[in-house]
Amino acid sequence: MDGVAESKTLHGRLILAVGALISIYVLIFMQPQEHNEMLRKEISNIEKAISTEATKVVVFRAKGWYEATMVESGLATFIDQYHQDTGLKGDQLWRTPLTRITQNIKTIWYQCLLRVSLLIFWFWMAIGLIAASAVDGLMQRKIKQHEFTAPSTGYFRVALWSGILVAILLELYCITPALISNEIFPLFPLFAAVIIGWLLKTTLANSAKNM
């Protein structure tokens, strides 16, 4: 049990470390104008990947969530007060980076909501891919049971690694800016579903052996 607890702790730290590194980069070093431009290009590519009408649904849903959570809640006003001009000499030394950070907080939150909204659009297709892969893996496991008679001990490992992979992929999907190619993110949920499905199928198929 100690080994299992230690493994869970290490995996939890890995997930937190990935999220923290990406968040630090985005909040501190990203320029708001650059981030906004990437979001506009990403929305344009979403329209190319699905359709104009579907994109409107995705964008309006994300906009509604943003207004409810950031504007109507008063959170945007609360954040903005930390970079207002105080009239003190030299206040731009700290006000300029704070302005960048607060703008990035709002932008990354909208980006996260936009991608979650898009994830909902792809949800059933992604679930179908993963479910089909799981069924395929179970069928392969039944075939291999005729060759390997030892009981399986790998299901906990399947659940653990699948959960870690899902958590890391969600982090990458929601908070990573489209620095390299904003054409990837409109289809990212499907790519992630293929990766998770392949891992699940391979692990389930091989769980007929002792793991």
Best CA proximity match to 203, nearest among 167, 156, 146, 147: 156
> Could you give the C-alpha distances from 169 to 22, 96, 193, in angstroms and in order?
13, 32, 10
Q: What are phi and psi of 89, to 5 degrees?
A: -65, 130
Share of the chain above pLDDT 90, in %: 13
pLDDT(210) > 70: no
Residues ≥6 apart with Cβ < 8 Å to 65: 113, 116, 117
In contact, 175 and 26? CB cutoff 8 Å: yes
* pLDDT score for 211: 44
Q: Mean per-residue pLDDT for 130-137?
A: 87
Domain ranges of the chain: 2-206
For 178: left if phi > 0, alpha if psi spans -120 to 50, otherwise beta; the answer is beta
Q: Mean per-residue pLDDT for 129-157?
A: 72
CA contacts within 13 A on the Cβ side of 111:
29
pLDDT(147) > 70: no
Best CA proximity match to 160, nearest among 47, 11, 25: 11
Q: Could you tell me the maximum CA-CA distance found in the chain, to the nearest angstrom? A: 80
The two structure tokens encoding residue 9: 């702790």
| Total-model pTM | 0.76
What is the per-residue pLDDT across 77-111, written as a single tens digit (0 to 9) for each?
Answer: 887 776 665 555 555 656 677 778 888 888 889 99
What is the per-residue pLDDT across 184-202, written as a single tens digit (0 to 9) for each?
Answer: 778 888 888 888 888 888 8
* pLDDT score for 205: 76
Rounded to whole angstroms, the Cα distance separating 171 from 115 reads 11
In contact, 148 and 209? CB cutoff 8 Å: yes
What is the per-residue pLDDT across 36-68, written as a single tens digit (0 to 9) for each?
Answer: 888 888 888 888 888 899 999 999 999 999 999
